[in-house]
Amino acid sequence: MACLNADLIAKSVNRLRKKRGLSYAEFLRTLTHLHFSNKNIEDIGDISMCRNLTVLYLYDNHITQICNLGFASNLTHLYMQNNNITRVENLSNLQMLSKLYLGGNRIAVVEGLEQLGELQELHLENQRLAPGEKLLFDPRTLLSLAELEDVFGLWPQLLHMDLRGNPACRTPKYRDRLITACKSLEVLDGREINELTRQFLINWKASKEAKMKRNNTGALIPYPLTNDLNLVQGLTSTAVQRWKKPQPSLRCAFHTDLG
């Protein structure tokens, strides 16, 4: 197993460094992309000398923890899928991060992303969890579609979301509700979102809410204390018919109780 550190990086780019005639320190400062996928890497050490890093490829390794990346304020793409990561952590300083790939890990709780205002793509597909364990979207381990809708509000730039292979995808109306909750989302679970479909779902949701509001308002109209229809002008004929329906007499009710 290997540790990603300045020495490992220097060895991998030694030939290119000599060609440019730079010292190790100078060359590391010029690097913007690091390609260390499938290198049997287990830990992320001190790579802070790569201060201009924008893209980091670390997929298909054996990394268990996201760490030592706080220096990378210019990082925009982080590829860490297919590792052994169990927690989403230590990302708050990555203010420019727009694409985060964490699929194929062992993450049970999605947290620690509140500060990533530039996030556009979040990939969490196919987490390798223990039997009965579920992917949750809240530090308090609450699993519900409404929680997902709230989370989307933290990432207004989010364009791609991939949750395939996780239990949340089996929630009723999962796709429809997330499409209406996140107006900027373009691709969900590998499938593009058609704008006509989105608009239809938004209109359908608005119509449903308006209908529920009307029904709730109508339920609050009291029965009148008079049969004089001149006093109820403007009411619907349905309501009038309800009011004209004769009420059982007290004697009938009393007789029924005794029988």
pLDDT tens across 129-179, in order? 888 887 777 543 333 345 666 666 667 677 888 888 777 777 777 787 777
Q: Which residue has the higher pLDDT, 251 or 246?
A: 246
pLDDT at 204: 76
> Percent of the chain scored above 70 by pLDDT?
75
pLDDT at 138: 53
- Distance (Å) of CA 190 to CA 9, 10, 122, 202: 33, 37, 12, 21
- pLDDT greater than 70 at residue 97: yes
The overall average pLDDT reported for the chain is 77
The conformational region for residue 82 under phi > 0 = left, psi -120 to 50 = alpha, else beta, is left
Q: How far apart are CA 124 and CA 122, in angstroms?
A: 7
pLDDT at 151: 66
pLDDT at 247: 46
Q: Which residue has the higher pLDDT, 37 or 148?
A: 37
pTM assigned to the model: 0.59
pLDDT at 233: 42
- pLDDT greater than 50 at residue 257: no
pLDDT at 225: 41
Q: How far apart are CA 173 and CA 149, in angstroms?
A: 12
pLDDT at 246: 47
Q: How far apart are CA 104 and CA 114, in angstroms?
A: 22
Provide the 3-class DSSP secondary structure of residue 109. strand
Average pLDDT over residues 97-122: 88
> Percent of the chain scored above 90 by pLDDT?
32
Lowest mean pLDDT among 18-27, 28-37, 237-246: 237-246
- pLDDT greater than 60 at residue 78: yes
Average pLDDT over residues 97-123: 88
pLDDT at 150: 64
The conformational region for residue 194 under phi > 0 = left, psi -120 to 50 = alpha, else beta, is beta
pLDDT at 83: 97
pLDDT at 193: 84
Lowest mean pLDDT among 117-121, 148-152, 194-198, 230-234: 230-234
